[in-house]
Amino acid sequence: MSGSISGKAAIVGIGQSAFGRFLPDSQLGLGAQALRAALDDAGLQRSDIDGLSLHMGWPLGADYDRMAEVYGLEVNYVNQAWTHGRFVTSALQHAAMAIATGMATVVACITAICFTRERHILGGPGDQEGMREQGATHGENPVFGLTSPAAGAAFAMQRYMALHGATSAELAAVPIALRQHARLNPQALMQKPLTLEDHQSARMIVDPLRLFDCSLVTDGAVVVLLTGADRARDLRRLPVRITGMQGIRSGRDEFIFAPPNLGINQQPTARVTPRERDLVAYRMAGLDRDAIQGFYTYDAFSPLVLFALERFGFCGPGEAARWVQGGRIAPGGELPVNTSGGLLSEAHVCGWNSIAEMVRQLRGEAGPRQIPDARCLQWGTCWGDSVILQR
């Protein structure tokens, strides 16, 4: 594709802090550990970083200027959203775009979060998002007792179950598979086997979501370093190229935590199979969905995994709950999903733990959970954005 950004930027370094609960370090302290590790991994100096692309900042986590000040960075390019899963992909994409357009040469994506100290923002009186003038994104409505993004995922799953005959026991296949992946990852916080009985007997958080359908609440940091493809070839590690990408889908047929046209909030109701505009990441990368060897997604709640699989056409609308049965997304399955354990079983580093895992997989460094000869992996979310990574 002439003029395409495909292949122009590459991930050349990854680093992470310890993951845990109630860690003694500050958020910036965890970020410093991860940044050091990423620079060592890439063989780059701190002074090489001239750009920051962050999906985090007020009201949760440090803003770019505090990071630059505390870490002694001097940058010429900044992109910052705020801490929200929906801005993970665009943070990575903006890093690639800044490099491709020459606005920066080495961009750091820094995510450092202590959810255990900041959990009030995830629901309750501290849910400032839910009380904004325009209201929140996930169907929150504190006036009626609805707070926390979990409410939106629950609304979507309840309707999905009613329309398609899916069950909570089928949904359990998602957290169970991710736990199986986590058990092959020593960094993952959840190492105990998870059974269907465990899932079904766990307490309800917001019906139909049970405890194991909701992400962990943890502390940790991940840093991803990107540079141009030419420079990447001269660095220490095998470059992982960004070959395809597409942005967030938004409009009246979308709800952040649902497939298109499920009928949540003001979505119309219709069966939607992926349209051409839903699949441009594959086109940009010059490949078909069949080439994807592993799928990575923002699994804040287990239904989001189902909706993402449908969004990109791995199965038809309404079919995902059955499609994920039988170990299909588990280790050794046809389409392994979130092989480090994801937000459900590794740690909640806002999805960047999965981005780092994709890089390890493509380098062939994933140990017992290695996808054989991994060459092409996809990050794609249930709100429709995506990045395709290749070695």
Partner 1 sequence: MMDPNSLTSKPLPRLTPDNTPFWEACRRHELMLPWCAACDRAHWPPGPVCPFCFGMRVEWRRASGRGRISSWVVVHQEWLPAFKSELPYNAVQVELEEGVRLTGNVVGVPNGALKVGLPVEVVFDDVTETATLPRFQPMGTEAASPAKDA
**Given 205, 281, 324, 347, the residue binding partner 1 (CB under 8 A):** 205
Q: Does 135 bind partner 1 (CB under 8 A)?
A: yes
Q: What is the length of the chain?
A: 391
Stretch of 56-64, 140-148, 172-180, 185-193 lying at the interface with partner 1 (CB under 8 A): 140-148
Task: Name every residue whose Cβ is closer than 8 Å to that of residue 145 and which is 6 or more positions away in sequence.
Answer: none
| Residue whose entry in the numeric block shows the structure tokens 């009613």 | 162
Q: Does 125 bind partner 1 (CB under 8 A)?
A: yes
What track of x and - describes contact with partner 1 for positions 145 through 164 (by CB under 8 A)? xxxx-xx--xxx-xx--xx-
Q: Is 307 helix (H, G, I), strand (E, B) or coil?
A: helix
345 contacts 189 by C-beta, under 8 angstroms: yes
What track of x and - describes contact with partner 1 for positions 222 through 261 (by CB under 8 A)? ------------------------------x---------
**Given 25, 41, 127, 254, the residue binding partner 1 (CB under 8 A):** 127
Q: Does 116 bind partner 1 (CB under 8 A)?
A: no
Beta bridge partners of 244: 388
| Residue whose entry in the numeric block shows the structure tokens 């359990």 | 172
389 contacts 362 by C-beta, under 8 angstroms: yes
The residue among 43 and 124 lying less far from partner 1, judged by its C-beta, is 124
Q: Is 366 helix (H, G, I), strand (E, B) or coil?
A: coil
d(CA 2, CA 315): 31
Radius of gyration of the chain, Cα coordinates, nearest whole angstrom: 19
The residue among 143 and 186 lying less far from partner 1, judged by its C-beta, is 143
Q: Does 272 bind partner 1 (CB under 8 A)?
A: no
The residue among 154 and 285 lying less far from partner 1, judged by its C-beta, is 154
Burial of 47 (0-12, 13-18, 19+ CB in 10 A): exposed
Q: At closest approach, how far in Å is the CB of 193 from partner 1?
A: 25
Q: Which DSSP string corresponds to 208-240?
A: TEEGGGB----EEEEEEEEEEHHHHHTSSS--E
Q: At closest approach, how far in Å is the CB of 144 from partner 1?
A: 5
Burial of 231 (0-12, 13-18, 19+ CB in 10 A): middle
Q: Does 291 bind partner 1 (CB under 8 A)?
A: no
Helix or strand (DSSP H, E) at 111: strand 106-114
Q: Which DSSP string corresponds to 141-182?
A: BGGGTB-STHHHHHHHHHHHHHHH---HHHHTHHHHHHHHHH
List the Cα angle 146/147/153 in 5-degree steps.
85
The residue among 140 and 385 lying less far from partner 1, judged by its C-beta, is 140
Q: At closest approach, how far in Å is the CB of 286 from partner 1?
A: 37
Q: At closest approach, how far in Å is the CB of 174 from partner 1?
A: 19
**Given 142, 228, 259, 260, the residue binding partner 1 (CB under 8 A):** 142
Q: At closest approach, how far in Å is the CB of 306 from partner 1?
A: 16
**Given 136, 172, 174, 206, the residue binding partner 1 (CB under 8 A):** 206
**Given 47, 101, 141, 200, the residue binding partner 1 (CB under 8 A):** 141
**Given 131, 229, 238, 248, the residue binding partner 1 (CB under 8 A):** 131
Stretch of 15-23, 124-132, 331-339, 377-385 lying at the interface with partner 1 (CB under 8 A): 124-132
Q: At closest approach, how far in Å is the CB of 153 from partner 1?
A: 9
Token duo for residue 378: 């996809």
Question: Rule CB under 8 A: which residues touch partner 1?
Answer: 123-128, 131, 133-135, 139, 141-148, 150-151, 154-156, 158-159, 162-163, 203-208, 252, 263-266
